[in-house]
Amino acid sequence: MIQPLIVKDKMKIGILGLGLIGGSLGFDLKSQGHYVLGVSRRESTCKKAMEIGSVDQAATELSLLSTAEIVFICTPIGLIVPQVEKLISHIPKTTIITDVGSVKTPIVQGISPLWKNFVGGHPMAGNTDVGIDAAQRNLFVDRPYVITPADNTPSHAIKILEEIVRSIGSIIYHCSPEKHDRAVSWISHLPVIVSASLVAACLDESDTEIFQLAQNFASSGFRDTSRVGAGNPELGVMMAQYNRQALINSLHQYRHNLDHFISLIEQENWEMLTEQLKLNQQSRPRFL
């Protein structure tokens, strides 16, 4: 018999990991009237989260989440599965678990066999800042939030997550974990590595005078193109580690396109270069 879907107006919601995403999520969930429980490895983070109003209660012990009806796992990618393995002994089987990791396939494959009510998720929001001090209100408004259920994910768990995501102003998308990882390799993970390689290339300038001038002259163009490559190194490594093959495929295609641009400039083919840049100018808005 199919159970009727009941989505409460006010829920008790747990957040494991009180950094930028977890802390921001806490702000928005509290603004909707939910009671928010937060868990962090550091006591100082728990104290800060309560002081700024991101959570109602916070502690370093997973047992705090034992009464949560849904738990958002907001730790770094590599800690998501291990933390869930520890969490499940503290919560009833009716609790919904979801995560916010930017790679989905290994997470869904790792957690789905452990927990029936698991729904993979990824809010496409954030910046290069980290920690509870970076948390902000309305971070997720008008931003994509991708939900990646497995074939056997209970529909009621998906619906409840959808209601919560919709309430914080996000735009909901559904796709398989594998398709998610291929898509984000283009627009999220590839830009990190490309941006990092730009900074690394600048550091390779051997003429100290030119190097100093480049530092002095750097302005908005360099700021925009280098931002994501100069973010949290831990996040960059985990993107590469857990979405390795999709990222490698994207990097090979990027290198092919870079070689094409090099060839056009070497050949002084300004007409073809103009056409390519015009195409890019016209196409970029479709991604934003």
Name the residue with tokens 């750097």.
Answer: 218
Whole-number Å distance between alpha carbons of 90 and 266: 63
Whole-number Å distance between alpha carbons of 217 and 263: 28
Alpha helices in the chain (DSSP H): 20-31, 43-51, 77-87, 105-111, 155-167, 177-184, 190-203, 208-217, 220-226, 233-242, 244-266, 270-283
Question: Which residue would you say has higher pLDDT here, 243 or 7?
Answer: 243
Residues 33 and 162 in one domain: yes
Q: How many CB atoms lie within 10 A of CB 166?
A: 12
Percent of the chain residues topping a pLDDT of 90: 92
Q: Report pLDDT for 277.
A: 97
Residues 187 and 170 in one domain: no
Q: Report pLDDT for 135.
A: 93
- Mean pLDDT (the chain) is 94
Q: How far is CA 165 from CA 25, 168, 209, in A?
A: 10, 5, 51
CATH of the domain at 78: 3.40.50.720
CATH of the domain at 194: 1.10.3660.10
Residues 63 and 200 in one domain: no
> Which of 2-11, 39-48, 168-177, 203-212 has the weakest average pLDDT?
2-11
Q: How confident is the model at residue 259 (pLDDT cuts 50, 70, 90)?
A: very high
With a cut of 80, say whether residue 2 has pLDDT above it: no
pLDDT digits (tens, 9 = 90+) for 111-162: 999 999 999 999 999 776 789 999 999 999 999 999 999 999 999 999 999 9
pLDDT digits (tens, 9 = 90+) for 64-113: 999 999 999 999 999 999 999 999 999 999 999 999 999 999 999 999 99
Residues 187 and 164 in one domain: no
Residues 16 and 76 in one domain: yes
With a cut of 90, say whether residue 4 has pLDDT above it: no
Looking at 175, 199, 218, the residue that finishes a domain is 175
Looking at 175, 196, 219, the residue that finishes a domain is 175
Q: What total number of domains does the chain contain?
A: 2
Q: Report pLDDT for 9.
A: 74
Range of the domain at 252: 180-287
Strands 171-174, 96-99: pairing is unpaired
**Which tokens hold the place of 7?**
């989505």
Residues 84 and 187 in one domain: no
Q: How confident is the model at residue 8 (pLDDT cuts 50, 70, 90)?
A: low
The arithmetic mean of pLDDT across residues 45-65, rounded, is 97
Looking at 152, 175, 198, the residue that finishes a domain is 175
Whether the predicted model's global pTM rises above the 0.85 cut: yes
Q: Report pLDDT for 5.
A: 42
Q: How far is CA 239 from CA 93, 142, 179, in A?
A: 30, 24, 15
Q: Report pLDDT for 127.
A: 75
Residues 168 and 202 in one domain: no
Q: Report pLDDT for 87.
A: 98
Residues 118 and 214 in one domain: no
